[in-house]
């Protein structure tokens, strides 16, 4: 990844351009406007992995029988706690009881994304098959953002928040589309 600043002067206008290079692609940032959706697309497509979080969720989770779990709805760090009765996902003041570690880690991932609600498969073996791919996608996005903006922790956090907001919006729209399709089949 290379960063290059250019300044061109056309009359009285000065346009500052920052070019971010990652893999074989390049993103231009003009006038301090970061194109978050382009960064997300670059991180999802250029890394050699065909799937992203939304595709996995749409193609592998939503077609099966699921239940809706309400989450905190804010991007918070979450912890998985091992209790006497199973596991709990704790984020801020909210605790969600889980029967097994796989379900707890699945809910933790979507809690850290900041989702309000999420579909959880009834079949825990399906959750176990999907979880490593979801975790790898999230880690790839976080690592890519850190490599795009290596020296600025505040900028990394800002871009991460914006990218996660785009992912949340896509997850929400795919959940709504799935619910609409389910109602139409009934």
- In the numeric block, the tokens 């918070």 are attached to 76
Number of independent structural domains in the chain: 1
Q: Is residue 29 part of a domain?
A: no
Q: Is residue 17 part of a domain?
A: no
Mean pLDDT throughout 58-82? 90
For residue 63, give its domain range.
36-185
Q: Is residue 21 part of a domain?
A: no
What is the token pair recorded at 180?
């609409």
Mean pLDDT throughout 2-15? 38
Does 24 have pLDDT greater than 70? no
Q: Is residue 160 part of a domain?
A: yes
- If you average pLDDT over every residue of the chain, what do you get? 80
Q: Is residue 25 part of a domain?
A: no
Alpha helix ranges (H) inside the chain: 36-45, 53-56, 101-113, 124-148, 153-185
- What pLDDT, on the 0 to 100 scale, is given for residue 102? 95
- What pLDDT, on the 0 to 100 scale, is given for residue 16? 39
């Amino acid at each position: 990844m290379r960063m290059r600043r250019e300044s061109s002067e056309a009359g009285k206008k000065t346009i500052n351009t920052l070019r971010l290079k990652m893999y074989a692609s390049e993103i231009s940032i003009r006038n301090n406007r970061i194109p978050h959706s382009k960064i997300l697309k670059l991180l999802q497509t250029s890394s050699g992995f065909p799937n992203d979080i939304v595709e996995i969720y749409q193609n592998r989770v939503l077609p099966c029988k699921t239940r809706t779990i309400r989450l905190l709805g804010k991007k918070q760090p979450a912890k998985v706690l091992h209790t006497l009765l199973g596991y709990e996902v704790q984020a801020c003041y909210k605790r969600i009881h889980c029967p097994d570690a796989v379900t707890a880690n699945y809910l933790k991932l979507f809690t850290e994304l900041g989702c309000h609600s999420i579909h959880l498969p009834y079949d825990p073996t399906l959750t176990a098959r999907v979880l490593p791919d979801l975790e790898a996608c999230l880690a790839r996005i976080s690592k890519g953002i850190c490599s795009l903006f290596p020296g600025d922790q505040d900028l990394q956090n800002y871009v991460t928040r914006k990218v996660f907001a785009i992912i949340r919006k896509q997850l929400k729209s795919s959940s709504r589309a799935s619910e609409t399709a389910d109602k139409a089949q009934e």
